[in-house]
Structure 1
Amino acid sequence: MPAHNFPELAAFVAIARRRSFRRAAVELGVSPSAVSHSLRQLEDRLSLKLVNRTTRSVALTEAGQRLFESLGPAFDGIDAAIEDLNQFRDAPRGTLRINAPRQAMRLAVGEVIADFVRLHPGMRIEVAGSDQLDDVVAAGFDAGVRHGELIAEDMIATPIGPWLGYAAYAAPGYLAENPPPLHPADLKGHSCVAYRFPSGKPFLWRFRRDGAPIEVEPAATLTFDDMDLVLDATLAGAGVGYMFEAQGRAHVAAGRLVEILPDWRTGPIRFFLYYPGRANLSFGMRAFIDFVKRRSRAIDEPASPPQAVLNA
């Protein structure tokens, strides 16, 4: 195939990497229609269907997968060679894609990335707000953000954002009809508003006072996969909710919520940025990691260490 078809091959590789025409277009700096046109031209030249596209998904055909497996390493080598030239730039440039839970964006990540792009105007950051524990590499992300330090062995993790704590709350109206619990075991007699991970695992409530932590799987009257919905239902008086202290603080001050079991709080936790532990990270990604590390070192860390694992 003549060399002038390189843009068509580049479009195909971007689609195969990202499993999205829109994200491939962002990677290449062109319009989605241009990416689609390049793919059609390549398929016409080869007389083969390479990509199956529906309104919900993009998948490679068997021929497309074979072509991608052959071309992917070559394009990775080209990307690495071009990326190596970035060391001669005065500032990083390019696009980073990060997968982060919605609450992480609000409480830990949003301010960090805003300050980073302000410092490096040549950088762009795309954030997918999702609580789903994705394989960030397979999903086409440069990095992910999650609770705790239990990250896949082939990943590197570094703390991002401030220390955060969890607490249990209830609305005054609910407590008027239900005496507040005095011990975490008393929660069995209460209606609870719970969070569940997208994987289906329940989010256990952790408490500690003068000893080992106590884990409680609440008898949930309502269960959500979104912490903001947990807050809304708790404010509405549906029961006791367990959430980030930063979510409940203003509502306690305004009298809309009351903290439950305040003497049983666990130690603070942090979100972690995790990314592939490989040497060929982009110049922009390395700059972002260094920026995150500097921010983390500047935070006054409490005496108690972070919980190594939350039940994700």
Structure 2
Amino acid sequence: MKYNHQLKSGDMFALTAFLVVASQRSFRLAAVELNLTPSAVSHTIKNLEDRLSVRLFNRTTRSVSLTDAGNQLFLSLQPAMESVTNAVNQLDKFRNKPNGILRINASEGAVKMILKPILKKFLDANPDVHLDIVSNGRMINIVEENFDAGIRLSDDIPQEMVAIRLTPYERFIAVASPEYLEKFGMPVSPYDLYNYDCIKFRFESGEIFQWEFSINGAIKKFNVKGPLTLTDQNLMVEAAKDGIGIAFVPEHLIETYLNSGQVVIVLEDYSPIYNGLSLYYPGHRHVSNALHALIETIRSEV
């Protein structure tokens, strides 16, 4: 069989660079991931386009997008490259120590609760591993975004993923400062919240989080009102502590403030309980020694 386009020296790297740029939609971000300069990445892609005699990306000063040809190559190449990566990763069992880059996507709360306490222990024990942690509020596709694993609330994890439970449950609670409650009084029912200043949370998608309370065994959502909307749950707790209003946040974020008396829980009997945090990864992907080591480190501390 004769191949019209046989791979030559450097083509495998060029195709890898193409996949990274296609995933990131940015030459600058791809350069960071590939540990190259943006101009080097751009030059690599240009040479690949010249060799294939087809344009793969539409480029402007503000955006990078795939052409139809680029999109077809991306869809065809991604599973093949993943198979190659898995084949190489299978060699991990012959290595004595975990190594390489381990990319983890997690919510801000999960980073603070699960990852922060074990970072030094893990990195000290695994000096050949570079841990790349990205924290954001939106649920992403960790396969498409090239992450090895994610940490989220168990109920939010796609069913096709392998999930390892890290915490038994997670509770969201409403909190306010004693000074605020002394001035405006304690709400008795979630319905009373419409008469209070509530500190709202906005997801990265732009959607405003609706507060959820358990009423007569069912979860009811409340579209509360208030003078402040934030995208950072820690700032929400700080705002509640400062007397701006009532915040609705994961319980683990306010333990220090509760213990010091800076905030108090309101409507605790209505606080909903969810399944806890889980670490998850694609079932079809080889689990590297580095990820195994991270899982074992987390389990030893949680």
Q: Smaller-chain TM-score range? A: 0.7 to 0.9
The question of 1:43 aligning with 2:46 is answered no
Instruction: Identify the residue that residue 96 of structure 2 maps to in structure 1.
Output: 90
**Structure 1 residues 258 and 286: alpha-carbon distance in aligned structure 2, compared to 1, 3 A threshold:** closer
The superposition leaves residues 254-289 of structure 1 with CA deviations (integer Å, 9 ceiling, x where unpaired) of 443233234555557522222212143334334434
- With over 3 angstroms needed to count, the CA separation of the structure-2 counterparts of 1:239 and 1:63, relative to structure 1, is same
Change (3 A) 1:240 1:10: closer
Provide the rounded CA distance (Å) in 2 between the counterparts of 1:265 and 1:67: 49
**In 2: Cα distance, 1:13 partner to 1:219 partner:** 43
Structure 1 runs not aligned, ≥5 long: 300-312
Select which of 64, 67, 80 maps to 2:73. 67
- 1:204 aligned residue: 211
1:54-86 CA-partner distances (Å, limit 9, x unpaired): 565432222222333444344333322222222
Cα contact 2:169–2:273 (8 A) shared by 1: no
1:220 match: secondary structure: coil
Structure 1 residue 253 displacement after superposition: 4.1
Aligned equivalent of 2:149, options 143, 155, 162: 143
TM-score between the two structures when normalised by the length of structure 1: 0.79
Moved more, 82-91 or 149-158: 149-158
Change (3 A) 1:10 1:263: closer
| Counterparts of 1:89 and 1:24, CA distance in 2 | 28
- Partner of residue 176, structure 1: 182
- CA contact under 8 A between 1:19 and 1:58: conserved in structure 2? yes
Match of 1:107 among 107, 113, 118: 113
Partner in structure 2 of residue 309 of structure 1? none
Secondary structure class of the residue paired with 1:167? strand
Where does structure 2 lack aligned partners over 5 or more consecutive residues? 1-5
- SS of the residue 2:21 aligns to: helix
In the alignment, does 2:60 pair up with 1:21? no
What CA deviation, in whole Å up to 9, does each residue of 1:165-209 have, x standing for no partner? 43322123322321112333433432222324445253423358x
**TM-score with structure 2 setting the length:** 0.81
1:117 and 1:162 map into 2 onto residues whose CA distance is 26
| Stretch of structure 1 that moved more, 281-290 or 239-248 | 281-290
**1:220 paired to 2:229:** no
After superposition, residues 1-312 of structure 1 pair within 5 angstroms as: 1=6, 3-6=8-11, 7-25=13-31, 27-54=33-60, 57-160=63-166, 164-199=170-205, 200=207, 202-207=209-214, 212=217, 215-221=220-226, 222-267=228-273, 269-292=275-298, 294-295=299-300, 299=302
- Give the superposition deviation at 1:131: 0.4
Partner Cα distance (1:278, 1:174) in 2: 52
Change in Cα spacing, 1:102 to 1:118, as seen in structure 2 (3 Å) is: same
Q: Is 1:143–1:274's contact at 8 Å kept on the other side of the alignment? A: yes
| Percent identity of equivalent pairs | 35
* Amino acid corresponding to residue 205 of structure 1 in structure 2: E
3-state SS of paired residue (2:9) = helix
| DSSP-derived class of the 1:48 partner | coil
1:215 and 1:45 map into 2 onto residues whose CA distance is 58
Q: Deviations over 1:112-131 (max 9, x none)?
A: 44433332111112122110
What letter matches 1:240 in structure 2?
Answer: I
Contact 1:18 1:24 in 2 (8 A): yes
C-alpha distance in 2 between matches for 1:178 and 1:11: 58
Contact 2:109 2:253 in 1 (8 A): no
Instruction: Tell me how far apart the structure 1 counterparts of residues 23 and 219 of structure 2 sit (CA, whole Å).
Output: 43
Q: Which residue of 1 aligns with 2:3?
A: none
Give the aligned length: 294
Amino acid of the residue matched to residue 206 of structure 1?
Answer: F
DSSP-derived class of the 2:185 partner: coil
Query: 3-state DSSP class of the match of 1:59?
Result: strand
Partners of 2:261 and 2:68 in 1: CA distance: 60
The root-mean-square deviation of aligned C-alpha atoms, in Å, is 3.1
